[in-house]
Amino acid sequence: MILGILQLLYRLPWLLLVSAAALVLIGTLALYSASEGAWSPWAERQMVRAAIGAMLLVVVAMMPTPWLHRLSYWGLAIAILVLVALPFIGTGTGATRWIELGLFNFQPSEPAKLAVIIALARYLSGQTPEQVQSLVSYLPVILMLGIPFGLVLIQPDLGTSFMLLMGGLAVVFAAGVPRRFLVTGVLAAAASAPILWSQLYSYQKARIMTFLNPEADVLGAGYQITQSKIALGSGGLFGKGFLQGSQSQLNYLPEKQTDFVFTMIGEEFGFVGNLVVLLIYFAILVSVALTGLRCQHRFGRLLCMGISFMLFLYIFVNVGMVTGLLPVVGAPLPLISYGGTAMLTVFLALGVVVNIALHTKLQDSDFY
Amino acid sequence: MKKRKEQKELSTVMTRRMLMLGAGQGVLGALLVGRLYQLQIAQSEGYRRLSDNNQFDRRLVQAPRGRILDRKGRLLAGNSEVFELRMLPSRISNHQAWLKRVSRLITLKPEDIEAILEKITEQPKFLEVTVKSNLTQRELSRLAVLSPVLEGASFQKSYKRIYPQGWMTAHVTGYVSPVNKRDIDGEPDLPYLPETRIGRTGIEHNMEPDLRGLFGFERVEVNARGKPVRVLRDQQANPGADAYLSLDVEAQSFATERLRRGRWQAVPVQMPEVQEALLENEELRAHVSMGDDLVLKDEKGRLVPPESGAVVVMDIYTGELKVMVSTPSFDPNLFSNRLSVRDWQRMNEHPRTPLLNRAISGLYPPGSTFKMVVLAAALEAGVITQKTRINCVGAFEFGDRNFHCWFERGHGLVDAEQSLERSCDIYYYQIALKTGINRIHDMARRLGLGDVSTLGLISEKEGIIPNRDWKLEKRGVVWTPGETVVAGIGQGFVLTTPLQLALMTARIANGRSAITPTLTTPQMTEASPSFPPLDVSPDIIRFLHKSMRKVMAGGLGTARKHDINQGMAGKTGTVQVKRITKEQREKGIIDNIDRPWKERDHALFVAFAPYKNPRYAISVIVEHGGSGSSAAAPIARDIMDFMLKSDGVSA
């Protein structure tokens, strides 16, 4: 028994867990600063959510891996059902994205990303080598990916839907989809881009245009990006100090507690502070990738691949957005940004990774 | 077996693809780090400046302008606190509706609203826009009641220049008006703020550097909504210095009213006949529309506006100006905020030019008041003695021209003293000729004519005291003796200002020092040693005093009816503004009062008093007022009486 526990402790991906804890701590401090040095309204609630998230992580990590395998399609089915129902039960300004749960606003598109990855990992890991080469066998993939993508896109939520799509495609790519299908897919996507553009809402177009030329509209959509760059840049190497970020504390920086929290960290702790945060993320990504490489079953490998790419996308899109490399699409910074759903989704995903790390010796055949 | 191999191959492919994705992430991650380096290290300096700009709203703090006070500390120009309403566009969803709501509480013209809306579109939404400055008490209280529900409204305190004496001292104080683009071009350090005011004329202009004070600088830390969080004072605002003038408001007030009334009778403006006259008399209408309700009735029963002209009273020892009146005048308060087009037109199109400060910028031939200069020059040159007699037969033939005496029948045989007492023109034609224009010029300059004074007021005119060189230089032709003849009675080329005539009189009265006029710094010591000597022989001065006394006290003196108890010495002057032709002279000269106003003679009078112990010099000019003795002398008498009496009270 004691030996079992020790074995379990030994197999735990410590780097991942410690890094996640560090990020939660940094996030809490950032939110404390974002409310001008106060625990309410954000920091204290963030801690409560992190605690709930940690419990979810433990639950997911401890469940037998085959359960995960078995539940995967159900998960996707539920995610799709909720997305379909969202227009009738959800709320949101301009776009219907949330369900008010009282404790927090639940954003179904976030766990949907994870559900898509798990479901795809299950389906693709079950493919025989012949099926991998067969176009027909990818029809379910297109449905599993296309339906949630379409549902999120029409909410409308351009950013999340693309992140969902990219996360799923990463799994497909990792599963070994033949190169010819990849090339065809990319060409098809390129051809449909103009059609998609014409279907975009004007604010979405504006955001993309703003991204291309933020200075043209300093007080409108470009305002956020301009102020974010000013805040980051004025932080310099070591930053202005904790609670001393004038851009953030004087409210020039919009959404500093959610999407622009990285900017706030940059203003108060400078290049060094930002680099530390990115290094911790790097540690998590490496840890997830190593877990995947060590894993002997394809389901686990694809899951790790998908989850690592999903996490990477969160980070890249968020940091790219606040530094003005990408358009403002509304992507949270995992475990740091204030926001319940994204945080719980990341904890669930990390739970999946820990689960796999604990059961690397399983074989593909064990799932059937 | 084959299946196994395929499985293995697939596994290799998967691993390879995982590594490829990892590498892709690495590249993109490196891109992010590079971007952060670019923003936070390479371009940090520039962003830090932008951040400071955000954080701090650098602004200038208005320094209250120095006050202008009279010699007894009475306020001529001061500052009143005014409140203005501002709006913060970023807090207001519908600007037009907001302004419409506000316009129900305060007066806002449609063009004002348009200008405000335009301003809102021009500047960032988080900067405040002035909706209305100078809110009245009533507007303020109306707005205050509603301010809790008036989102985005704020009140700001500022200063407005006020002139409690209004038009009575307008020509002395001058006025201020908002700073404009040209001011900034000329003086780049000047703060270009809507509340910055620049002195344009008078003391406001003359003492601008002292009055303006030093603007303060402060940095207001503002949040993104433009709300101040903290204020850092970088430089305290320094109020401008007060200016104490030599002017005596009481005397100024008396002199103004006395000059305006002239010889006529005041008529209530409400009377039907006045209202009727207003319909047809454009000049009267222009006058009343300036907000002045003094209407006079002249000896022919015609309704006329108050007299226009100037009065200057100077202390003959210190040069202090106690009175400087120019009528008509204007309300300097109108300029303090943006002058309305209508007010500007009223002032500009007024036939009697209220903006002209006649005391220093009005040019008039001195007429017979110039005779002291000619007499002194002749005595000094030795071309006559105090006993020299000349026979006046009413005209003097010189060249092919006949020069007439104002007294057509002729004065008969007059000596020097009588020539001044009775103002015999023939006497002066002849002695001027003998003295020559250059020596007259020299004496005139010594007595303070023909040059701008030390007052330093903008727009002061130097006038003309001609000599041979001047003629050659300005007109390109040589001086002719005939011109000396007319200069002998202060006409022809000779032009002076009322201030200069007062100065001339003061120097004659003083006799020793070439005093200079001053408005600003009271010079407390009598016979201040800082004045250079006058350099006119005491004999001549004494003779001038005696002769000028005869004007008032002699049996035939031109101003014999207008002496005062303490005794006054003076000289009348009546200036033709239109040459009398030969035919007119033969037909008989039309009475002054029957001519159009513009063609009537100017009435002048200069004097000093008390005769025994001179204290003040005065010059009075009533434009187109008639003769010096009938129109100007009584005014001078009353004002001088007032001056001496109020001195007696205070002594």
* pLDDT tens, residue by residue, A216-238: 554 555 677 888 888 888 888 89
Contacts of A316 in chain B (CB under 8 A): 25, 28-29, 32
Q: Nearest chain B Cα to A240, which residue?
A: B48
Quick one: pLDDT at residue B2? 63
Residue B521 has a pLDDT of: 65
Residue B112 DSSP class = H
Which residues lie across from B392 on neighbouring strands?
B412
Domain shared by B87 and B220, yes or no: yes
* Among the partner residues A231, A319, A325, nearest to B51 by beta-carbon distance: A231
Residue B608 pairs with which residues in a beta bridge?
B569, B617
Q: Is B381 exposed, middle or buried (CB count within 10 Å of its CB: 0-12, 13-18, 19+)?
A: middle
Identify whether the C-beta of residue B225 lies closer than 8 Å to the C-beta of residue B209.
no
Please indicate if any CB of chain A lies within 8 Å of the CB of B345.
no
Are B224 and A251 an interchain contact pair (Cβ–Cβ within 8 Å)? yes
Instruction: Give the count of beta carbons closer than 10 Å to the beta carbon of residue B358.
Output: 27
Of A293, A298, A325, the CB nearest to B35: A325
> Which residue among A129, A247, A316 places its CB closest to the CB of B7?
A129
Which residues numbered 99-158 in B keep a CB inside 8 Å of some CB on A? Answer: 124-125
The amino acid at residue B507 is: R
For residue A41, whether the previous peptide bond is cis, meaning omega lies within 30 degrees of 0, is yes
Q: How far apart are CA B19 and CA B380, in angstroms?
A: 118
pLDDT of residue B527: 47
State CA B503 to chain mean position distance.
19
Identify whether A156 is preceded by a cis peptide bond (ω within 30 of 0).
yes
Contact B127, B119 (CB under 8 A): no
The string of pLDDT tens digits covering residues B501-544 is 999 999 999 999 999 999 876 544 444 558 899 999 999 999 99
Residues 278-317 of A with CB under 8 A from B: 278, 282, 285, 289, 292-293, 298, 301-302, 305, 308-309, 312, 316
DSSP string, B354-417: TTS-HHHH--B--GGGGHHHHHHHHHHHTSS-TT--EEE-SEEEETTEEEEPSSTT--EEE-HH
pLDDT at res. B85: 84
Whether B181 and B299 map to the same domain: the answer is no
- Is A293 in contact with B21 (Cβ distance < 8 A)? no
Q: Are residues B89 and B207 in the same domain?
A: yes
Q: Classify burial at B306, counting beta carbons within 10 Å of its beta carbon; exposed 0-12, middle 13-18, buried 19 or more.
A: buried
Residues of A in contact with B18 (CB under 8 A): 174, 289, 292-293, 301, 305
Radius of gyration over every alpha carbon of chain B, rounded to an integer in angstroms: 36
Task: Give the closest of B33, B51, B52 to A275, CB-based.
Answer: B33
Q: Which domain holds residue B268?
A: 263-304
Displacement of CA B103 from its chain's centroid (Å): 36
Residue B250 lies in a domain: no
Same domain as B286, residue B160: no
Mean pLDDT of B153-162: 80
Task: Judge whether B358 and B308 are in contact, CB under 8 Å.
Answer: yes
Q: Is the pLDDT of residue B245 over 60?
A: yes
Size of interface A-B (CB pairs under 8 A): 134
Angstrom distance (rounded) from CA A18 to CA A239? 25
Q: Say yes or no to pLDDT of B102 above 90.
A: no
Mean pLDDT value of segment A295-301: 90
Q: Rounded to the nearest 10 degrees, what angle do helices A298-322 and A109-125 cross at?
A: 150
> Which residues in B lie closer than 8 A to residue A356 (C-beta atoms)?
none
How do strand B75-87 and strand B153-162 relate by DSSP bridges? antiparallel
Which conformational region is residue A102 in: left (phi greater than 0), alpha (psi within -120 to 50 degrees), or beta?
left
Q: Of how many residues is chain B composed?
A: 651
The answer, yes or no, to whether residue B81 has pLDDT greater than 60, is yes
Which residues have CB under 8 Å from B352's CB, separation 6+?
A: B283, B286, B287, B305, B308, B328, B623
> Coil, strand or helix: which one is B519?
coil
Domain ranges within chain A, ordered by starting residue: 14-367
Q: Is A182 on the interface with B (CB under 8 A)?
A: no
| Residue B169 to residue B250: CA distance in whole angstroms | 11
Contact B51 A323 (CB under 8 A): no
Q: What percent of chain A has pLDDT over 90?
A: 42
Considering only the beta carbons, identify the residue of A271, A292, A308 that sits closest to B36.
Answer: A271
Is the CB of residue B489 less than 8 Å from the CB of residue B368?
yes
Residues of A in contact with B14 (CB under 8 A): 174-176, 298, 301-302
Candidate from A174, A232, A235 with C-beta closest to B14: A174
Q: Are residues B588 and B603 in the same domain?
A: yes
* Amino acid letter for position B336: S
Interface check B42 vs A, CB under 8 A:
no
- The pTM of this model reads 0.64
Dihedral sign, Cα of residue A310, residue A315, residue A321, residue A325 = negative
Contact call for B40 and A292, based on CB within 8 A: no
- Residue A115: other Cβ atoms inside 10 A: 28
Chain A residue with minimal CA distance to B90? A219
B642 and B549 in a single domain? The answer is yes
Q: Would the CB atoms of B54 and A252 count as touching at under 8 Å?
A: yes
Looking at the complex, report in whole angstroms how far the Cα of residue B26 sits from the nearest Cα belonging to chain A.
9
3-state secondary structure A259-292: CCHHHHHHHHHHHHHHHHHHHHHHHHHHHHHHHH
CB-CB under 8 Å, A246 with B51: yes
Q: Which one, of B305, B337, B282, B3, lies nearest residue B162 by Cα?
A: B337
The total of other beta-carbon atoms located within 10 Å of residue B149's CB is 8
Q: How far is A192 from chain B (nearest CA, A)?
A: 25
- Cα separation values, B637 from A61, B248, B358, B644, Å: 114, 18, 20, 11
Closest to B50 (Cβ–Cβ): which among A230, A278, A324?
Answer: A230
Q: How far is B126 from chain A (nearest CA, A)?
A: 9
Chain A environment of B9 (Cβ under 8 Å): 129
Collect all residues with Cβ–Cβ distance below 8 Å to B85 and sequence separation of at least 6: B102, B106, B130, B131, B132, B135, B143, B153, B154, B155
Q: Which of B17, B28, B54 sits opposite A230 (nearest CB)?
A: B54
Closest by CA position to A162, among listed A207, A113, A195, A209? A113
The size of chain A, in residues, is 368
What was the pLDDT predicted at A94?
A: 60
Residue B59 has pLDDT above 70, yes or no: no
Here the tokens at position B515 are: 């005093």
Q: Are B318 and B454 in contact (CB under 8 A)?
A: no
> Could you tell me if B352 and B476 lie in one domain?
yes
Q: Which residues are B79's β-sheet partners?
A: B161
B329 contacts: CB under 8 Å, gap ≥ 6: B167, B168, B170, B171, B256, B354
Instruction: State the Cα–Cα distance between residues B292 and A309, nearest whole angstrom.
Output: 87
Least confident window among A109-113, A302-306, B132-136, B556-560:
B132-136
- Average pLDDT, rounded, for chain B: 87
Q: Which of B162-176, B179-193, B309-323 has the lowest mean pLDDT?
A: B179-193
Residues B293 and B226 in one domain: no
pLDDT of residue B651: 43
Distance CA A145, CA A136 (A): 15
* pLDDT of B227 higher than 80: no
In whole angstroms, how far apart are CA B307 and each of A197, B258, B262, B297, B298? Answer: 81, 9, 6, 11, 11
Q: What is the CATH number of the domain that holds B511?
A: 3.40.710.10
Q: Computed from CA positions of residues B404, B410, B415, B421, in that sequence, does the dihedral angle turn out positive or negative? A: negative
B618 shares a domain with B604: yes
- Say yes or no: B300 and B373 in one domain: no
Name the H helices within B222-281: 249-261, 272-280
Please tell me the distance in Å from A244's CA to the nearest CA on chain B: 12
Whether the predicted pLDDT of B615 surpasses 70? yes
Q: Which residue has the higher pLDDT, A188 or B607?
A: B607
B324 and B434 housed in the same domain: yes
Suggest the residue from B15, B16, B32 to mutate for an interface test with chain A (most A CBs closer than 10 A): B32
Q: Do B221 and A174 touch (CB under 8 A)?
A: no
Residue A227 touches chain B, beta carbons under 8 Å: yes
Distance (Å, whole) CA B323 – CA B618: 9
Q: What is the average per-residue pLDDT within B385-406?
A: 92
Q: Does A261 touch chain B (CB under 8 A)?
A: no
Gap from A22 CA to chain B (nearest CA, Å): 20
B230 & B348 share domain: no
Closest CA in chain A for residue B221: A250
Q: Spell out which residues of chain B touch residue A233, defining contact as CB-CB under 8 Å.
A: 39-40, 43-44, 46-48, 50-51
Q: Are A229 and B47 inside 8 Å of each other by CB?
A: yes
A227 chain-B contacts, CB cut-off 8 A: 54, 224
Nearest to B136 by CA among B160, B112, B113: B160
Confidence at B163, pLDDT banded by 50, 70, 90: very high
- For B365-376, write each residue's pLDDT tens digit: 999 999 999 999
**Residue B448 placed within a domain:** yes
Say how many domains are in chain B.
3
Distance from CA of B5 to the nearest CA of A (A): 10
